[in-house]
Structure 1
């Protein structure tokens, strides 16, 4: 694998209702949360963009921004569809804007684990984390059709397209920051080096 084959996409297109504000723009240690994601993902890919449906001008200060093609916050698959359409590379890796501790070799492990499948997603052994995934542009027609039928479940789509589950060891790497309390706890633990 070479990184010029893969575009990275930060998924920041949700409503962020539990956070109370746009999750990707929550300030942590002087940086918006999406920038923490970008700093970890950027070395693993050649191109990076942000999928967002609000505050796009704030994200666009640093990266190209794409919005969902399906209105009303249709979920992560809608962001993935937009990313696949916008990407100039055959492969796209997606990372949500609220998972700042994903591994430094996420893309490499997903690439190795995908086999011949057009998609691969993270599992920590206890549960799947399908929004952390690697997708091939060949999925565009089936993903578009799936969403047009009103379907939104990521794991159901991945099951239908034969996506590979890739097992990662450390469950803590995939913790979501959904609330201000989650952010505060992560901030404290990262300062302690935990």
Structure 2
């Protein structure tokens, strides 16, 4: 199965105070963790951001056509430019995700559902998920109507929720986000 990878790097980074994808984390740019992880599973990588700085990584960089609409807009743009039907989306601020997490998620892909969303302790993780390009029209409708909450979108389409509770036992920081400067010192 061919999968496109989309790195979400276009957030406002208001809590971080700087473009978090470009900050150093354990010796390399935070966005590098997402790129390196996706490279092993995706035959193309797209970086969704409004910053031209991300061109240095050598992948297609796309800007939001729906400005200030949050992650739904970045996912929409990624789906729009992806060449494969299945699109693995990964936020740039989750450096502890690993190959096991990707493999668990990819193993759940089927043709009956349009998105595959990890769940940890009954909390959804829509910024590390697989979306089908069939969702483009539905996403566009949500964006035009200013329905921007990811959960509202996910609940309105054919979603498969994948429990990651057992994997979290082995990797307790798996879904740790780097949102604040102090998060960059977590291991």
Same fold (TM over 0.5): yes
Report deviation, 1:164. Answer: 1.1
Check if 1:159 corresponds to 2:164.
no
Cα shift readout 1:41-98 (whole Å, capped 9, x = no counterpart): 21121111111122x2x21111211111101x21111001100110011111111110
Distance 2:41 2:83 in 1: 16
Partner in structure 2 of residue 89 of structure 1: 84
Distance 1:143 1:98 in 2: 23
List structure 1 segments (4+ residues) > 4 angstroms apart after TM superposition: none
Partner in structure 2 of residue 141 of structure 1: 137
Within 5 Å, give how 1:1-194 maps onto structure 2.
2=1, 5-54=2-51, 56=52, 58-62=53-57, 63-71=59-67, 73-115=68-110, 116-168=112-164, 169-170=167-168, 171-185=172-186, 189=187
SS at match of 1:44: coil
Cα shift readout 1:94-118 (whole Å, capped 9, x = no counterpart): 1111001113033432233244201
Query: Which blocks of at least 5 consecutive residues in structure 1 are unaligned?
Result: 190-194
Query: Which blocks of at least 5 consecutive residues in structure 2 are unaligned?
Result: none
Which has the higher mean CA deviation after the structures are superposed, 81-90 or 41-50?
41-50
TM-score of the aligned structures, taking structure 2 as reference length: 0.90
TM-score of the aligned structures, taking structure 1 as reference length: 0.87
Report deviation, 1:126. Answer: 4.2
Distance 2:28 2:14 in 1: 21
Q: Report the aligned-residue RMSD.
A: 1.4
